[in-house]
Amino acid sequence: MSTPSPDLTSLSAAHQQWQSPARLRWSMQNIARFLPVRPIPRGTRTTAFGAAPQPLGAVPVPHPWGGPVRTFAEVMLATCTDGWIVTRDGAIIDEQYTAPMTVASLHLLMSVSKSLTCATVGALSGAGLVDVTRQVTDYVPALASSGYVGARVRDLVDMRTGIHFSEDYLDGDAEVRLLEEAIDWAPRRHATVPATLLGFLASLRADRPHGGRFDYKSCETDVLGFVIAGATGAHAADVISARLWQPMGAEQDAHVGVDSVAAPMLDGGVSAALRDLARFGTLYLHDGYALDGVPVLPPAWVADTLAGAADSREAFAASTEITLMDGGMYRNGFWFPRAGSDVLLALGIHGQMVYVNRRTRVVAAKVSTWPTPQDGEKLLSTIAAFDAVGAALA
């Protein structure tokens, strides 16, 4: 672990300060300088984008609920953007970085990490190593006394277990914040929180049957990390590298935060470069194939992601949380923000996004440092901005 920035003089100070609005831009690009991580190595092959440069800053973007029309550049500025890229059919149309971020910088992805993890499960499913209809405890026996008894892997990738877990980021007592204490991403304020990620997951209980309504819970993807390890006998970061990052031709190594025993925090701990997010999104534009045609994800997994289950939209509509996505669904780690399956999103708090539009053939990505974890106007404005440039290009 390298030396922290001078304004974060100790690990304790980093725990106290790194998620504060004043620190967020620096810390989200420097996680490995003050927290332990495990690499997700790239391979020897890098897939190349084409180039079709076209400045997009002046494209008009309607406000999501009737406010004044802004330009694409104005929306990017107003949504605290650290970097954005727009590609179409494998060619980079335009991209921009806000200092100190550069094309080579790694940025914390928050819950975009979930989509990468679910894609890896899809690759393992295609290889016959994971069966999403099997019980979670078949792969993770350590959860045999937890609330996950009876849950299927399918319930994890679709966020449909009955586990009791609050995702209220502003509540210091919510399970999502207790999870951060368990992995030492936050100072310990609760003496009863287990000292490892697996110990924390094993302490969770269910408050309703599995397989019901959509209920967004970060813990589900952390369990998937242990499913991946149980199915392969390898560390999940190494499996993500071998099954996703290397075959898609990533340009930069990525990394993921780990707990005291090196278990990966896959619900939000991956950091990666912006162009590699576009490479990842392109897999869902090209039915599982990389930019150079190398197969990465099973086409059947991508098709299943787009189609959803017969009751995916019903389960999504039944969610008790506000999604701002009427008619949408959540499937295999991706959000569908409206009726239909043309647009799918990988999303993370503080403004991380991978946007795929199969109708306009646009894949875009954006990394940000919103001062608050969630912001409906910033989210919908970003979607509207990528919709608008897609329409202009198409």
Beta-carbon count within 10 A of 296 CB: 24
- Please pick, among 10, 20, 105, 111, the residue that the annotation labels catalytic: 111
Q: How far apart are CA 118 and CA 239, in angstroms?
A: 12
What string of DSSP letters covers 174-222? SHHHHHHHHTTSS----TTS-SSHHHHHHT--BSS-TTSS----THHHH
> Among this protein's residues, is 111 annotated catalytic?
yes
CB 272 within 8 A of CB 254: yes
CB 349 within 8 A of CB 373: yes
In sequence order, what E strands does 46-168 have?
50-51, 60-61, 70-71, 81-88, 91-97, 107-108
Beta-carbon count within 10 A of 32 CB: 17
CB 270 within 8 A of CB 109: yes
Conformation bin of residue 159: beta by default, left when phi > 0, alpha when psi is -120 to 50: left
* 291: CB partners within 8 A, 6+ apart: 47, 48, 49, 90, 248, 249, 279, 282
Residue 323, classed as helix, strand or coil, is coil
Beta-carbon count within 10 A of 207 CB: 9
β-bridge partners, 345? 335, 355
β-bridge partners, 47? none
What string of DSSP letters covers 229-261? HHHHSS-HHHHHIIIIITTTT-SS-EEEEB-TT
* 248: CB partners within 8 A, 6+ apart: 47, 276, 279, 280, 282, 283, 290, 291, 294, 296
Tokens matching residue 73: 């550049």
Report residue 369 CA to chain centroid gap: 15
* Residues designated as active site: 111
